[in-house]
Amino acid sequence: MALRDIVILPDNILKQHSDSFALVDAAVRDLADDMLNTMYHAPGIGLAAVQIGVLRRMIVVDVAREEEPREPLCLINPKIIWSSEETSEHEEGCLSIPDTYDLVTRPAEIKVQYLDRDGAECERHCNGLLSTCVQHEIDHLDGVLFIDYLSRLKRQRVIKKFVKAAKQNGDNS
């Protein structure tokens, strides 16, 4: 299991669409393990493949509390097949947008269809933090970031901060 570098805003790959997997093989399972390892190390509660520079439809999540045993989930080709009308608001952050948090409103509950790490077809009903996290990660697969739900002013402020930081890093190297 390797630790991968996490792509940070304003890297353009974060705006790109990810492709589905045709099958789940050993290489796909290795990618899942790398993603989980990278997510736990960060630490974070969710990671999409695009965040380590791989434009494929896979997400990993674990919303277990720190004192609880780990509950790693790997969702391959995830698809939301139902969303509740009821919404909920959570403060979100993103490993690709460090130290930035804001409230986002999303459907409170969803049903998601996916292939697991063994390639088995699964369906899962998600609510609470898991629902928010899965929706946030699936958005990544379509080039959507949580800051895209904020006001234009807030979003521009965040992007400006990261463009400036990237420029400074470039100047220093």
Instruction: Give the x/- contact pattern for Ni ion in 103-142, rule: CB under 5 A.
Output: ----------------------------------------
Q: Smaller CB distance to Ni ion: residue 91 or 123?
A: 91
Count of residues in contact with Ni ion, rule CB under 5 A: 1
For residue 165, what are the contacts with CB-CB under 8 A and spacing of at least 6? none
Q: Which range touches Ni ion (CB under 5 A), out of 55-63, 91-99, 105-113, 147-155?
A: 91-99
Q: Is 94 in the site for Ni ion (CB under 5 A)?
A: yes
Q: Smaller CB distance to Ni ion: residue 85 or 103?
A: 103
Q: Is 6 in the site for Ni ion (CB under 5 A)?
A: no
- The letter for the amino acid at 23 is L
Query: Contacts by 40-48 with C-beta closer than 8 Å and gap 24+?
Result: 40/70, 41/3, 42/6, 42/95, 44/95, 45/129, 45/133, 46/133, 46/134, 46/136, 46/137, 47/6, 47/95, 47/137, 48/18, 48/137, 48/138, 48/140, 48/141
Q: Which range touches Ni ion (CB under 5 A), out of 54-62, 86-94, 98-106, 159-167?
A: 86-94
Where does this chain bind Ni ion (CB under 5 A)?
94
